[in-house]
């Protein structure tokens, strides 16, 4: 991941704590982002607005965007791969998850998914990233019997990078409702 300008990065994600019993240990061992405070998640939009540019106007715009989407139930139904580099969980709500990304990109067209690096955005929950291939194959075999894992998505989280490289959750936006839930004050 590359830095946006001089500001610290942010991301909009669907947190999925329900997968922790099935993939938590694997993520801690095989996904470097897990050790930096990034919870199990499906990315809605990364990179988003740099942390030092977030303000009440942007927060209000996000509240409005996410009011347009209804909560939805979905299941993580299988493991998939991006080449031999990334092992991930696939959700059966591909359309709804892509729809969340589309809503944000329409409102914030300067923020393209993954900086425009990928022609197609594939909603996924990473469980292993650039780890030894044998370890990732073993992980895939371990996780398969633990699926499906069904969840209800009711909110989107705004994660923010810290100078240490760790990530924290800054704010949560309820789907189909009107108010953001602050966790910590935004850094000015």
Would residue 187 count as lying in a domain? no
**Does 59 fall in a domain?**
yes
Mean pLDDT of 119-147: 96
pLDDT in tens, 6-39: 479 999 999 999 999 999 999 999 999 999 999 9
- DSSP notation for 112-148: -GGGG--SS----EEEEES--HHHHHHHHHHHGGG--
Evaluate if residue 1 carries a pLDDT over 80: no
Number of domains making up the chain: 1
Domain annotation covers residue 1: no
pLDDT, mean over the chain: 91
Residue at 3 is within a domain? no
User: Which of these ranges, 18-27, 42-51, 110-119, has the smallest mean pLDDT?
Assistant: 110-119
**pTM score, two decimals?**
0.89
Domain containing 139 equals 10-182
Residue 53 belongs to domain with CATH number: 3.90.1140.10
Is 129 part of a structural domain of the chain?
A: yes
Q: Is residue 4 part of a domain?
A: no
C-beta of residue 147 within 8 angstroms of C-beta of residue 17: no
In a domain, 188, yes or no: no
């Amino acid at each position: 991941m590359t830095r946006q300008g001089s500001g610290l990065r942010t991301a909009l994600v669907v947190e999925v704590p329900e997968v922790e019993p099935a993939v938590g240990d694997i993520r801690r061992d095989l996904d470097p982002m897990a050790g930096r405070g990034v919870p199990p998640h499906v990315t809605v939009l990364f990179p988003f607005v740099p942390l030092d540019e977030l303000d009440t106007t942007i927060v209000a715009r996000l509240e409005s965007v996410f009011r347009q989407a209804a909560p939805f139930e979905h299941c993580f139904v299988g493991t998939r791969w991006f080449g031999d580099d990334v092992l991930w969980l696939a959700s059966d709500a591909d359309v709804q998850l892509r729809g969340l990304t589309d809503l944000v990109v329409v409102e914030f067209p300067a923020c393209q998914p993954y900086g425009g690096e990928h022609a197609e955005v594939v909603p996924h929950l990473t469980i292993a990233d650039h780890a030894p291939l044998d370890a990732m194959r073993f992980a895939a075999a371990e996780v398969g019997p633990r699926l499906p894992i069904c969840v209800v998505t009711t909110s989107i989280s705004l994660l923010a990078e810290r100078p240490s490289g760790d990530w924290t959750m800054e704010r949560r936006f309820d789907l189909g409702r009107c108010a953001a839930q602050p966790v910590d004050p935004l850094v000015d």
